[in-house]
Chains A and B, each alone.
Chain A
Amino acid sequence: MTDFLILGSIAMAATPLVFAALGELVTERAGVLNLGVEGMMLMGAVCGFIAVASGAHWIVGAAAGALAGACLASLFAALVLGFAANQVASGLALTIFGTGLSALIGSNYVGTPVDKIPAVLWGLDPMVFAALAMSAAIALWLYRTRQGLILRAVGENAEAAHAHGHTVLKVRLLAIMFGGAMSGLGGAYLSLAYTPLWAEGMTAGRGWIALALVVFGAWRPGRVLIGAYLFGSVGVLQLHAQSSGLLAIPSEILSMLPYIATIAVLALLTTRQQQSRAPAALGQAFHRLR
């Protein structure tokens, strides 16, 4: 396998992480911690897959994945914004629910083959480039537009943003929905391009790795992108070591690499200084006083 193909497979392994992590980044920048990424990715994966398996174009499949993620996210939004429920518990509920529901609606599609998203350039499919474009667009939007400024303000100090007449709940609702759609896209990419097939729990913790990437990337889109590609290369390294059989290492140990890498990265690279970059209002409920 040439180096070029390895680079391509890194990009493909990184793309679902890029989507999910960027979505979560926007959500967290608005001050909301959504631990339901894994569940939303699974729902995106299964709904995108069902759409394509039923004959739809892959673009429709990707849109179905995004929509599924956003729908699930709206449940989370109802809990944490409407009912002021604990964000950690609500996010866990979302993951548990999404895991179960995706398994339920996908049970007839296990093993069904679909056509992979076709490549357009350098053997890569358009979603890879879309993910790169999204990270640039999100960075520009966050730092160069008034809406981006308002989103950051809401995540920094919701009370103050409210006092200035910004509608905290609306901003957060949109951020949560966007995060859900992006997670759904990431999931759909897994089932439509990366594998491409549907299996229960196929995200295998990528949603959680995406959450870790946001911390690792210090809530900056550029760094999150780099982090996702680093993780993509860990995954590809693992696959190549496995398939080449050069190393006499059991495949299970190689499969542990991404998880061990996540822990190591979180432990070694997240200094207190970096953590202090977290949006100040992250995880805090906001009650309208009126």
Chain B
Amino acid sequence: MLRIEPRPTPSRRMTLAAPLLALALTVATGATLFSALGHDPGAALYHFFVGPISDRYGLAEMGVKAAPLILIALGLSLGFRAGIWNIGAEGQLIFGAICGGGVALALYPYDGAWVLPLMLVAGVAGGMVWAALPALLRTWRNTSEILTSLMMVYIAALVLRLLMNDLLRDPDGFSFPESRLLTNGALLPIILSETRLHLGAAFAIAAALLVWILTRHTLIGFQIKVAGLAPNAARYAGFDHNRLIWLTFMISGGLAGLAGVGEVAGPIGQLVPVVSPGYGFTAIIVAFLGRLHPVGIVLAALVIALSYLGGENAQINAGLPLAVTGVFQGLLLFFLLACDVLIQYRIRWRRAP
């Protein structure tokens, strides 16, 4: 019979191996799922995982999708380390997109050099504003930040829809609920020619570096770590928990807002009623898959970005429903959480007594 035994110390090897094992299990389950749906699993997997990145453009697209995931997951990882659960990044992304896009549309058709920086600042600020209410309620009323941050997602989506139908709608757009196209000066520069890979990818890498420094070398990073591992010890050491809540919410909200304005000023190029295919939620998976570590998050974001591309590609080439992407992402997180047991425990085969 299988027995689960605690390890004397957490296994470092398994910390790295668990995500790979989870990935393998997800692919295996995916193949089974594809055959169950009546598709040739080999071909479906090819269309899902290899097809999308078989050329330069495809690789760049992976970067386009990974950039917002990296930004958001980095922010979330700080909170998750401290046991602070901001799961409303999607709403912060949307509001960041509204604020950043709103600045560009308000200045239209002005196209000066400072439009883009101003948009980025507005996007970050928007994300922070949207994250402020859950942080305030948590620190002031001890209200569950999980529920409030999530409710804010629905509200943000409705705010965007409202603006699309009304205030920010393109006056020349035949009443389509979309804004004007942004002027060139309001778009993030492309960093790889003939692709859509934009400056946002560079922001993501820079943010990963900053978060790495923050977690590794600063007092705040140490406080976050202690607060997550042993809340009583954090109180004993005198770390201000409310300050950590505010800080992690502001960082994660700001980064989600940046991701939002990056979508508007990047691949989308205008404000539309739906600015994200759920990046804010998917980033939760990225954060866990990346072990809440900046380097891991960058790698995990690339994998998840591939699952987005793969879903689209498999829909076009193999006729698979687009919803397969969500199933894959959910499965991956499931398997990861299950595989994580191997870090703290080892599984031994033992004959039943």
Binding site for B on A (CB under 8 A): 35, 75, 78-79, 82-86, 88-90, 92-94, 96-101, 103-104, 107, 200, 204-205, 208, 211-212, 215, 250, 252-253, 255-256, 259-260, 262-263, 266-268, 270, 272, 275, 287
Q: Which residue of B lies closest to A96 (CB)?
A: B330
Are A104 and B333 interface neighbours, CB within 8 A? Answer: no
Instruction: Report the tally of A-B residue pairs with Cβ distances under 8 A.
Output: 135
- Whether a CB of chain A sits under 8 angstroms from the CB of B340 is yes
Given A208-B147, A266-B148; A75-B341 close (CB under 8 Å)? no
B133 and A101 contacting across the interface, CB-CB below 8 Å:
no
Partner of B340, one of A85, A94, A212, A259: A85
CA distance A60 to B255 in the complex (A): 47
Closest B residue, CB atoms, query A266: B143
For B20, the chain A residues whose CB sits under 8 A away are: none
Collect the chain B residues with CB atoms within 8 Å of residue A89's CB: 284, 288, 333, 337
- On chain B, the residues within 8 Å of A75 by CB distance are 334
Interface size band for B:
35 or more
**B residues adjacent to A (C-beta < 8 A):** 6, 85, 87, 133, 137, 141-144, 146-148, 150-152, 154-155, 158-159, 161-162, 165-166, 281-282, 284-285, 288, 321, 323-331, 333-334, 337-338, 340-341, 344-345
Contact A96 B137 (CB under 8 A): no
Q: CA A211 – CA B149 in complex, angstroms?
A: 13
Q: Is the interface of A mostly helix, strand, loop or mixed?
A: helix
- B151–A104 contact, CB under 8 A? no
Contact B326 A83 (CB under 8 A): no
* A75 CA / B333 CA spacing, docked (Å): 12
Q: Can you list 17 pairs linking A and B with CB atoms under 8 Å apart?
A: A75-B334, A78-B338, A83-B337, A88-B146, A93-B330, A96-B285, A100-B325, A104-B323, A104-B326, A104-B327, A211-B147, A252-B159, A260-B151, A263-B133, A266-B147, A270-B142, A270-B143
Q: Select which of B141, B148, B166, B321 is within 8 A of A103 by beta carbon.
A: B321
Question: Do residues B137 and A267 form an inter-chain contact, with CB atoms below 8 A?
Answer: yes
Known: A83-B340, A84-B341. A100 touches B148 (CB 8 A): no
Chain B residues within 8 Å of A98, by CB: 330
Alpha-carbon distance A212/B341, docked complex (angstroms): 30
| CB <8 Å contact, B337 and A79 | yes
Residue of B nearest to A215 (CB): B144
Cβ-closest chain B residue relative to A253: B162
Given contact pairs A78-B338, A256-B159, a sample of 15 additional A-B residue pairs in the complex whose CB atoms are under 8 Å apart: A83-B338, A85-B337, A85-B338, A96-B282, A97-B333, A104-B323, A104-B326, A107-B323, A205-B154, A208-B147, A211-B147, A256-B154, A259-B152, A263-B151, A266-B147
Please indicate the chain B residues that have their CB under 8 angstroms from the CB of A263 in the complex.
133, 137, 147-148, 151-152
Closest to A208 in B: B150
Give the Cβ gap from A251 to chain B, nearest Cβ, in Å. 9
